[in-house]
Amino acid sequence: MRHMLGIKGLTRDEITRILDTAERFKAVSERRIKKVPTLRGRTVISAFFENSTRTRMSFELAAKRLSADTLSFSASSSSTRKGETLMDTARNLDAMKPDAIIMRHPASGAPHMLARNFPWTVINAGDGINEHPSQALLDMLTMRDHLGSLAGKRVAIVGDIYHSRVARSNIFGLTTMGAQVVVAGPGTMCLPGLSDFGVEVRHRIDDVVEDADVIMMLRVQRERLGRAMISSVREYARFYGLDLDRLGKARPDVVVMHPGPINRGVEMSPEVADGERSVIMEQVTNGIAVRMALLYLLLGEGRPALGGDDAAA
Amino acid sequence: MLLLEGGRVVCPRTGRDEVADVLVEDGQISAVGPDLGRAGLRAIDCRGMVVAPGFTDLGTQLCDPGETWRESLETGSQAGAAGGFTTLLLSPATLPVIDDPSVASDVLLRASRASGSRLEAAGALTRGLKGEELAEVGLVLEAGCIALSDGGATHVDTNVLRRALEYSRPYGSPVLLRPSEAALEADGVMHHGQVSLRMGLRGIPAESEEIGVGRAIALARLTGARVHLTHITLARSVELLRLARRAGVAVTGGVPARSLVLTDEAVDAQEYDTATRVLPPLRPEADRAAVVAGLRDGVLSCVHADHVPWSRVEKEVEFEYAPFGATGLETAFRAAMTGLEGDVSAVVRALSVGPAEVLGRAAEIAPGATGDLVIFEMDEPIVVHGPFRTRGVNEPLVGRSLLGRVVATVVAGRVVYGPITLQG
């Protein structure tokens, strides 16, 4: 495994190996000296072409706690933007001899383009509506912490499934790990074709909360309003939001997750977000361990051969 | 004088399929038959090869005037010749658009000097191809254009399209349309289906083309216009055309050559390769098979190169930001031959006979016919690779193993591509 472009194509063993490695890295962040020398002398650049605070900070902390030299830059990117192309930006980065680029980009497939053309490791930190692999891995780690194993567990994902890279990566990962995935959301965001990925497609949130081991709520992108995707925020909250009433119908030990940032009162009420079933802050903590594991497995000494998306290499 | 010696002469219109010599004099075919050779004649040894009427492409984009870094009349004409095309009907989608007699005259004058394929032009159906006002189609046709076209820009306003078809009908020229409901193309970048869902790319529903085909057929019936649909890529479109033809509506259809061999899986297999971003998008296997069958049974009469060249400036970007289009002139024949599984007669019908008929012409090998000929062979599949004559860098078939190879192209008796020897 040279790149981490997506969960799609990873095997159960590969995912398990990443999660097991992350498990071991959790301890580093609990120490007083939160640093190990694993990636000393390696250069990791985070290149974010789309706004993100938590993912970038999480990756940077992960790299720093592994003693890598890190730097980051943010740039805007759009089809109408004048100026340097992504390929030119990457050629410049390449000239600086990095070991890995952590990349977020609003266009699906952008990290794949760099992975195909350059010698360094590319880690996808979210590309368009395609994948957000480190998020899915930290989600699966968090689920595993609470459920022991993922096999046979029932995970409900609620919201804008179609435009969510978090949902897509989780669907690929969870189905590979043997979990049952059920999705619910507005008709414009929860297309029937998803059932071909081994996912059960429902629409009403009430149909999916009752027997779920995990309820994962997705963030509503307000820019979808006005593009004939949803009619109003209040209607969305009424039919697809998770509040205490709905949570009351779920199993008492249900695990409630959200990739953040939360629109309080829209997809999730504050009482649920801050309630005892919520593991949202654990997700954030686990994010660092998972990203340390990824950096270690991709860049560390004796890089293990895991196969997977290496076809492009 | 030029002698094409000893080739398998395939002419679907006359039904000829036999080994014969073809003699071309003063730009016209003067004789077809055995042993036409004599000393001192310029000749091409065609033994083991096929001699067929030259290919005609409808709606070629050569980006000249206006965007000659993408292609020019000369490079496009050369690329066409290398692909076996003897005639290219240029799309009016240039800068400025060919919607005015002075632009048409300029293009046609410069086109007449091109050294490869013969270049002719289609005029725009509406001003600026915007689908808002009628273009001066009469003046543009008078200036030398031989067809009208939407240039691939689909009409948003159905009533304008109706009026344009009504208005242009008395001028008698065929109208080329890309069938599509533009609103459904909105933010899509590939065919909506399993592959787009898997790749996280926004999809264009097949219904966009289906509605476009239905609309074009309905308007052809309403207006009596002679409509040719240049981009048929769906099983359902083939069925709609079949029904329309049965009902006597004057509508014909063609398919982009690449759609005979590539499916939407190519977007994934080629890892977001921007050359695979085309309109209409590459479709699933069932549709690919259906358009191949449609060509075989005659519901579809044409294969088009759908040549839309782009430079690295436009295509070396993120898949979602790249413009639609791929080159095709130098690969269309091979894609057709591969998709039609070596059926020489079907390939010649689709590349030579069908497109010429749309223009009201007869592509045939018989005394008196224009000396437009192609010589090709089809022994072993060959991997597609550059360099190409087109300036476009967006060839999605690179690396694919395809059947067929153009050996020589003859335009009005002149060899514009390939070898020639003097007969001893």
Chain A residues touching residue B320 (CB < 8 angstroms): 79, 106-110, 128
Range A56-77 average pLDDT = 92
B2-11 and B42-45 beta bridge pairing: parallel
Q: Which residues of A touch B (CB under 8 A)?
A: 8, 77-79, 85-87, 105-110, 112-113, 116, 127-131, 165, 168, 191, 193-194, 196-197, 312
Each residue's pLDDT tens digit, B14-44: 999 999 999 999 999 999 999 998 888 999 9
For residue B197, being part of any structural domain is answered with yes
**Which of the 8 DSSP states describes residue A277?**
T
Position B132, amino acid:
E
| B200/A168 Cβ within 8 A | yes
Question: In the prediction, which pLDDT does B187 show?
Answer: 87
Give A307's pLDDT tier (boundaries 50, 70, 90). very low
Cβ atoms of B189 and B202 closer than 8 Å = yes
Share of chain B above pLDDT 90, in %: 95
C-alpha to C-alpha distance for B237 and B292, rounded to whole angstroms: 13
Question: In the prediction, which pLDDT does A229 show?
Answer: 87
| B197/A109 Cβ within 8 A | no
B99: number of Cβ within 10 Å: 27
Cis peptide, bond prior to residue B179, ω within 30 of zero: no
Query: Is pLDDT of B424 > 70?
Result: no
Tokens 């368009």, residue located: A128
Q: Any residues with CB less than 8 A from the CB of B200 and at least 6 apart, and which?
A: A108, A109, A127, A128, A129, A130, A131, A165, A168
| B272/A112 Cβ within 8 A | yes
Longest dimension (CA), chain A: 57
B412: number of Cβ within 10 Å: 16
Question: In the prediction, which pLDDT does A313 show?
Answer: 31
Range B335-354 average pLDDT = 98
Cβ atoms of B295 and B355 closer than 8 Å = no
For residue B185, being part of any structural domain is answered with yes
| A191/B318 Cβ within 8 A | no
Question: In the prediction, which pLDDT does B186 show?
Answer: 87
Cβ atoms of A60 and A121 closer than 8 Å = no
Report helix, strand or coil for A129: coil
Long-range contacts of A14-19 (CB under 8 A, 24+ apart): A14/A306, A14/A307, A14/A308, A15/A137, A15/A140, A15/A173, A15/A176, A15/A177, A16/A177, A17/A297, A17/A304, A17/A306, A18/A137, A18/A290, A18/A293, A18/A294, A18/A297, A19/A137, A19/A140, A19/A141, A19/A144, A19/A290, A19/A293
The reported pTM is: 0.94
Say how far residue B383 (Cα) sits from the centre of its chain. 22
Cβ atoms of B60 and B118 closer than 8 Å = no
For residue B91, being part of any structural domain is answered with yes
**Parent domain of B176:** 54-363+378-403
Query: Is pLDDT of B421 > 80?
Result: no
Give A191's pLDDT tier (boundaries 50, 70, 90). confident
B248: number of Cβ within 10 Å: 7
Give B179's pLDDT tier (boundaries 50, 70, 90). very high
Give A79's pLDDT tier (boundaries 50, 70, 90). low
Query: Is pLDDT of A310 > 50?
Result: no
Range B139-151 average pLDDT = 97
Cβ atoms of B299 and B253 closer than 8 Å = yes
| A128/B320 Cβ within 8 A | yes
Range B272-281 average pLDDT = 98
Q: Which residues of B touch A (CB under 8 A)?
A: 193-194, 197-202, 271-272, 316-321
What six digits make up the tokens of A200? 């059960």
| B316/A108 Cβ within 8 A | no
Position A312, amino acid:
A
Tokens 């533009």, residue located: B182
User: A298, A14, A3: which is closest to A176 by C-alpha?
Assistant: A14
C-alpha to C-alpha distance for B265 and B132, rounded to whole angstroms: 37
User: Helices A133-147 and A54-65 sit at what angle, rounded to 10 degrees?
Assistant: 80
Reply yes or no on whether B306 is catalytic: yes
For residue B178, being part of any structural domain is answered with yes
Q: Please name each of the domains of chain A with its CATH number.
A: 12-130+284-312 (3.40.50.1370), 133-283 (3.40.50.1370)
Share of chain A above pLDDT 90, in %: 82
Cβ atoms of B48 and B378 closer than 8 Å = no
User: B286, B304, B301: which is closest to B122 by C-alpha?
Assistant: B304
Range B359-383 average pLDDT = 96
Structural domain count of chain B: 1
Cβ atoms of B149 and B175 closer than 8 Å = yes
Chain A residues touching residue B318 (CB < 8 angstroms): 77, 86, 105, 107, 109-110, 113
For residue B421, being part of any structural domain is answered with no
Q: Which residue among B193, B194, B272 places its CB closest to the CB of A109? A: B272
Question: In the prediction, which pLDDT does A312 show?
Answer: 33
For residue B44, being part of any structural domain is answered with no
**Which chain A residue lies closest to B201 (C-alpha atoms)?**
A108
Q: Which residue among B193, B202, B321 places its CB closest to the CB of A79? A: B321
What six digits make up the tokens of A179? 């979990």
Question: In the prediction, which pLDDT does A192 show?
Answer: 84
Tokens 């690329």, residue located: B79
Q: Which residue among the candidates B64, B100, B268, B306 is catalytic per the annotation?
A: B306
| A127/B200 Cβ within 8 A | yes
Active centre residues of A (catalytic): 54-55, 82, 104, 132
User: B150, B151, B147: which is closest to B172 by C-alpha?
Assistant: B147
Range A2-7 average pLDDT = 97
Query: Is pLDDT of A302 > 60?
Result: no
* Residue of A50, A84, A130 to mutate, interface with B, max B Cβ within 10 Å: A130
Question: In the prediction, which pLDDT does A83 show?
Answer: 75
Each residue's pLDDT tens digit, A254-265: 999 999 999 999
Question: In the prediction, which pLDDT does A78 show?
Answer: 61
Mean pLDDT of chain B: 96
Question: In the prediction, which pLDDT does A304 show?
Answer: 46
Q: Where are the beta strands (DSSP E) in B217-261?
A: 227-229, 251-256
Chain A residues touching residue B190 (CB < 8 angstroms): none
Query: Is pLDDT of A216 > 50?
Result: yes
Q: Which residue among B193, B200, B272 places its CB closest to the CB of A113? A: B272
Cβ atoms of B381 and B43 closer than 8 Å = no
**Which chain B residue lies closest to A167 (C-alpha atoms)?**
B200
The ipTM of this complex is 0.91
CA distance B274 to chain A (A): 10
For residue B414, being part of any structural domain is answered with no
Within 13 Å and on the Cβ side, how many CA atoms surround B358? 35
C-alpha to C-alpha distance for B294 and B237, rounded to whole angstroms: 10
Position with higher pLDDT, A301 vs A141 = A141
| A130/B321 Cβ within 8 A | no
| A168/B271 Cβ within 8 A | no
Each residue's pLDDT tens digit, B95-125: 999 999 999 999 999 999 999 999 999 999 9
C-alpha to C-alpha distance for A77 and A100, rounded to whole angstroms: 20
**Which chain B residue lies closest to A107 (C-alpha atoms)?**
B320
**Which of the 8 DSSP states describes residue B323?**
P
Q: Which residue among A77, A108, A312 places its CB closest to the CB of B319? A: A108
Mean pLDDT of chain A: 92
C-alpha to C-alpha distance for B15 and A168, rounded to whole angstroms: 56
Question: In the prediction, which pLDDT does B207 show?
Answer: 98
Question: Which of A194-208, B222-236, B284-298 shows the lowest per-residue confidence on average (mean pLDDT)?
Answer: A194-208
Cβ atoms of B207 and B236 closer than 8 Å = no
Share of chain B above pLDDT 70, in %: 100
CA distance B365 to chain A (A): 48
A154-158 and A214-217 beta bridge pairing: parallel
Q: Domain with B97 in it: what CATH number? A: 3.20.20.140
Query: Is pLDDT of A289 > 60?
Result: yes
C-alpha to C-alpha distance for B409 and B375, rounded to whole angstroms: 6
C-alpha to C-alpha distance for B232 and B290, rounded to whole angstroms: 10
C-alpha to C-alpha distance for A159 and A242, rounded to whole angstroms: 10
